[in-house]
Structure 1
Amino acid sequence: MSPIVELKDVRKSFGDLEVLKGVTFDVNRGEVAAIIGQSGSGKSTALRCMDRLETIQGGSMLICGHELHDDDVDLKSLRRDVGIVFQSYNLFPHLTVAQNIMLAPRMVKGMKQRQAREIADTVIAKVGLREKMDCYPEQLSGGQQQRVAIARSLAMEPKLMLFDEVTSALDPQLTGEVLRVMEQLAADGMTMILVTHEMAFARKVADRVIYMRDGKVHEMGSSDILRTPATPELAAFVSESAEH
């Protein structure tokens, strides 16, 4: 089985600051990979590079068959295959939930209104918010807005979903409702890469855990590495996370 995501010796700098210092890992179709590590370790930058929101300066990156190290990569085609959800929900405040979800399928895929509405109905049911279709974002809680943001990405029927600290702005109860949606997506076989500080969730759902430190992959393996870390640095990080 060939990986759906392949990073080989990926390097990324912002000016003189090298943030990714030769990152290598791959993720297979249907896998859930959790990227963990202290702030500043390069986790979110690696994720943003996978959707070509940032360009890399060295190494190679193959995402859903797209060579992201190639300047001529077809970004429109890439964004059809890769969905990304951020900490901020980025919903359009003047559009209803249904309109927010239908926008990309109509604009990017040229879908007819009726077909886009059918897809919107399907994905909103997946995130458990069918009764909120005609609400505006301001009428929703933070957790509900984040679930709509996930539904909006799912409407493009991506092959890969990227999640960047999607629960970090939410209180514990709202965090739980978003994580339940992500858990169900994992159970449905969606390929997912998530940058997260939710260690219990990573232990439960991730097939692969990637611990980044100082711009490199410091330790990687199944979620068992969170129970029995091989390096003192990961052991310290896990025990520190448990205290918060």
Structure 2
Amino acid sequence: MSAVANPTRAAREDTPRSPQAGAPVVRLHDVHKSFGALKVLDGVSLDVGPGEVAAIIGQSGSGKSTALRCINALETIQQGTIHVCGHAIHDPQLDRRALRRDVGIVFQSYNLFPHLTAEQNIMLAPTCVKGMTKAQARELAREVLSHVGLAEKAEHYPEQLSGGQQQRVAIARSLAMRPKLMLFDEVTSALDPQLTGEVLKVMENLAREGMTMILVTHEMAFARKVASKVVYMHRGRVWETGTGAMLDDPQTPELRAFIGNGL
């Protein structure tokens, strides 16, 4: 690993602080994850504070999406600790149901139920998980659909919506759970430029409103403009981290090559 990246990484591998006001919403400390003999995360440490937007960038296979899935307990880790919204993700006794109430995640695939309208897709979790009445959930669904600019699409089925609109419904569905943290895993990678712009606008508005977010993305312009923290991952490690300005002045040859490839 480059000598320039070492000090940044070492500085982040300190002992986790006790929970306190203003403490990180997300803290990964020396996280290791393997799939069989394949090492995917190799000692990842990262903090994300309240209201921060962290953009994770890097080549395919660098561990970006795996890190995101570990944060939401969709993957288990072999070593290290992860604390998210007061939940110890590494604890075998983790209450996953409680975690899902605090953390929303949106994937590249929209995962909408095709036989339900946009409104019904959003109502499902509030009624099943939070015990809302259908009337309460319907009012909430209309509210979050309006928030993502789709109030008029409430009665539309997924097949009647564009890819960008479906992705915005997926975001609205997560927002309906009133999460403390939102995770986005390459949510625009399957969209054309115009539809990508629709989705990024919604995410930019969420950032402006103070939502804590971690996003895996290839949208470098968006990372420069919106992210308060950019994390470049390489070979399963946090290789370089900083503000969006680091994309204009990379300190490691690996990040220079990554940006130079137009990624």
TM-score of the two chains, using structure 2 as the length reference: 0.91
Give the equivalent residue in structure 2 for 1:59.
80
Paired with 2:200 and 2:155, the residues of 1 have a C-alpha distance of 24
Give the equivalent residue in structure 1 for 2:95.
74
**How well do the aligned residues superpose, as a CA RMSD in angstroms?**
0.7
Paired with 1:227 and 1:104, the residues of 2 have a C-alpha distance of 42
Q: Write out per-residue CA displacement over residues 42-78 of structure 1, whole angstroms, 9 at most, x where no aligned residue.
A: 0000000111000011000000000011000000000
Paired with 1:58 and 1:119, the residues of 2 have a C-alpha distance of 40
Of 198, 203, 228, which residue of structure 1 is paired with 2:249? 228
Give the equivalent residue in structure 2 for 1:159.
180
Give the equivalent residue in structure 2 for 1:4.
25
Q: Write out per-residue CA displacement over residues 140-165 of structure 1, whole angstroms, 9 at most, x where no aligned residue.
A: 00000000000000000000000000
Of 77, 102, 106, which residue of structure 2 is paired with 1:85? 106
Of 115, 127, 130, which residue of structure 1 is paired with 2:151? 130
Can you give the 5+ residue segments of structure 1 that lack an aligned partner in the other structure?
none
Shift of 1:225: 0.7
* Residue 32 of structure 1 pairs with residue 69 of structure 2: no
Shift of 1:222: 1.1
Paired with 1:115 and 1:227, the residues of 2 have a C-alpha distance of 47
Q: Is the 8 A contact 1:96 1:136 kept in 2?
A: yes
Q: Is the 8 A contact 1:123 1:154 kept in 2?
A: yes
Paired with 1:189 and 1:119, the residues of 2 have a C-alpha distance of 20
Paired with 2:72 and 2:113, the residues of 1 have a C-alpha distance of 21
Letter of the structure 1 residue corresponding to residue 237 of structure 2:
K
Q: Is the 8 A contact 1:6 1:27 kept in 2?
A: yes
Q: Write out per-residue CA displacement over residues 75-111 of structure 1, whole angstroms, 9 at most, x where no aligned residue.
A: 0000000000000000000000100000000001111
* Residue 109 of structure 1 pairs with residue 133 of structure 2: no
Paired with 1:3 and 1:176, the residues of 2 have a C-alpha distance of 30
Paired with 2:78 and 2:127, the residues of 1 have a C-alpha distance of 34
Paired with 2:262 and 2:170, the residues of 1 have a C-alpha distance of 27
* Residue 175 of structure 1 pairs with residue 184 of structure 2: no
Q: Is the 8 A contact 1:81 1:159 kept in 2?
A: yes
Letter of the structure 2 residue corresponding to residue 124 of structure 1:
L
Letter of the structure 2 residue corresponding to residue 61 of structure 1:
I
- Give the percent of matched residue pairs that are identical in Structure 1 and Structure 2: 70
Q: Write out per-residue CA displacement over residues 181-222 of structure 1, whole angstroms, 9 at most, x where no aligned residue.
A: 000000011000000000000000000000000000000011
Paired with 1:99 and 1:118, the residues of 2 have a C-alpha distance of 11
Shift of 1:230: 1.0
How many residues align? The count is: 242
* Residue 150 of structure 1 pairs with residue 207 of structure 2: no
Q: Is the 8 A contact 1:12 1:56 kept in 2?
A: yes
TM-score of the two chains, using structure 1 as the length reference: 0.98
Can you give the 5+ residue segments of structure 2 that lack an aligned partner in the other structure?
1-21
Q: Is the 8 A contact 1:199 1:241 kept in 2?
A: no
Question: What does 1:194-213 align with in structure 2 at a 5 Å threshold?
Answer: 194-213=215-234
Paired with 2:55 and 2:23, the residues of 1 have a C-alpha distance of 19
